[in-house]
Homo-oligomer: A and B are copies of this chain.
Amino acid sequence: MDKESFRRHGYQFIDWLADYFEEVEKYPVRSTLKPGEVKDALPGGPPLQGESMDIIFDDFQKIIVPGITHWQHPGWFAYFPANNSPASVLAELLTAGIGAQCMIWQTSPAATELEEVVMRWLAQMIGLPESMSGVIQDTASTATLCALLTAREKATSYEANRTGLRRPLCVYTSEEGHSSIDKDVKIAGYGTDYLRHIPTDRNFAMIPSELEKAIEKDRAQGLEPACVIGTIGTTSSTAVDPLSEIGSICRRHGLFFHVDAAYGGTAALLEENKDLLAGAEDFDSFVFNPHKWMLTNFDCSAYFVKDEEALTRTFEIHPEYLKTGLDAEVKNYRDWGIQLGRRFRALKLWFVIRSYGVEGLRDLVREHLRLAGLFKKLVDEDERFEVMAPVRFSLVCFRYKKPGASEQELARLNAALLEKINRSGRVFLTHTSLKGSYTIRMAIGQRTTTEKHVRQAWDLISKSAAEL
């Protein structure tokens, strides 16, 4: 593709995206395609000769776009948001175009140093101790894996890296902890037999006394407690574990304390939420995802650690072909996580923070919190429905109720309701289970979601329930 073609198609794609951002509402939020429809529309093998970008882009619009589930739709209320923004998308364009692989300082000093700087900014923005060191990971799954590996190495005096993990080390999270913790416990070689899911209270937050009991029970049985993972904003209901108390327990028992704030961390941008990070001086590590609720397109997961050396000692490698004369003076982020190769992800974060400013980001979060409060009120006021969990952030857990119905019947009814509203194409919500009860989740966090969209969603839910 020559320069003029690149320019022409670049403009064309920018135009298409400009329209897309504006008109995304015209698409059904959740793709309506059936399994196999995209595959069937594509040839079984690659073309031998190159094709024109006009044809490729045409196929993109005809074949791919109908198979997209539109995460940037204002009717997106599913899972958690993964909101992006024009500033972030434009930065990603530059990152892709420059195409630097930022594994070490030398392979792009600006990437390493900008990452250091924006991570320090982020720590300031949410009120983490400034002594914590930051690194961008791809996802919270990966960040939590880094935490579990660091905890494993600290507990074994960095021996497990050499000898394998030959004795059981125990990990603790609440029964509402994210599924990636189970997965990471397997990967890091702890084994799920040694993962304790601590009971939660009626607000779905970890009960500290139960944690301490579990730790003591394991100790009494000759097992070795190693790591506790607390959560700010659980996936099912955005519950917040009592981190100060948990931190004290960790300190008392000498355990590594990781905090998963993948979704909830963004809320700490607000002054009125500073209590979220109370006890942060006891966090050994902390993760939150600007790619969820802070306008930075996926992937960008902000991971902070108290003890930088413990992290790098867990991961460091020193092959001759990666050595440079400056290694003693600079950070080489290859030693801060799993992957060697790294994209220049700090750029989009820098663009987002500067483009919106801290106040701009706060405004967005405050508005989402307000909309969640409004939605909760609408549910509360309709006696056919019930709210299933405290609304701490911008997620409302609710369900349709029916006097005398069994849990099984309620699950069937609510699943039918959910499928009905999702099939409308105007909204997309997902479900979870809270202490055995089927629950619909209304997660508000799209950049373009306004009160109108939230009220429309409620009208749709309300009318659909009447037709059940």
Contacts and interface: CB of A to CB of B under 8 A. Distances in A.
Given A21-B6, A109-B38, A432-B320, A164 B187 contact: no
B164 A354 contact: no
Interface string A92-107: 1110111111000111
Given A48-B358, A86-B1, A142-B339, A37 B109 contact: yes
A35 interface: yes
Interface residues on A, range: 35 or more
Interface in A5-61: 5-7, 9-11, 13-18, 20-22, 30-31, 33, 35-39, 42, 44-51, 53, 55-56, 60
A87 B100 CA distance: 17
A295 to B, nearest CB: 10
A5 to B, nearest CB: 7
A229 to B, nearest CB: 15
A100 B291 CA distance: 11
Contact of A138 (B37, B98, B138, B319): B138
Interface string A325-354: 110011000000011110100010011011
Interface stretch (A176-184, A200-208, A253-261, A454-462): A176-184
- Please provide the 6 A-B residue pairs with the shortest distance between their CB atoms, ordered closest to farther: A189-B189, A67-B110, A164-B191, A10-B14, A38-B113, A92-B96
Nearest to A66: B110
Contact of A3 (B22, B67, B162): B22
The interface residues of chain A, by DSSP majority, are classed as helix
A306 to B, nearest CB: 20
A192 B162 contact: yes
B189 A188 contact: yes
Contacts of A53: 87, 90, 355
Q: Which of A55, A86, A88 has the most CB of B within 10 A?
A: A86
A237 B45 CA distance: 33
Interface in A198-216: none
7 contacts: A17-B97, A56-B354, A64-B347, A69-B107, A138-B339, A163-B191, A178-B319
Contacts of A117: 38-39, 42
B357 A46 contact: yes
Interface stretch (A77-85, A279-287, A366-374): A77-85
Interface stretch (A120-128, A244-252, A376-384, A401-409): A120-128
Q: Which of A99, A329, A432, A441 has the most CB of B within 10 A?
A: A99
B341 A141 contact: yes
B100 A93 contact: no
B189 A47 contact: no
A106 B30 contact: yes
A189 B162 contact: no
A193 interface: yes
A190 to B, nearest CB: 6
Contacts of A355: 1, 50-51, 53, 56
B93 A71 contact: no
A17 B94 contact: yes
A80 to B, nearest CB: 9
Contacts of A5: 86
Contact of A21 (B3, B42, B141): B3
A182 B48 CA distance: 39
B1 A42 contact: no
Contacts of A338: 141-142, 145, 183, 187, 338
A314 B192 CA distance: 13
A317 B98 contact: no
A385 interface: no
A31 B99 contact: no
B113 A84 contact: no
B86 A99 contact: no
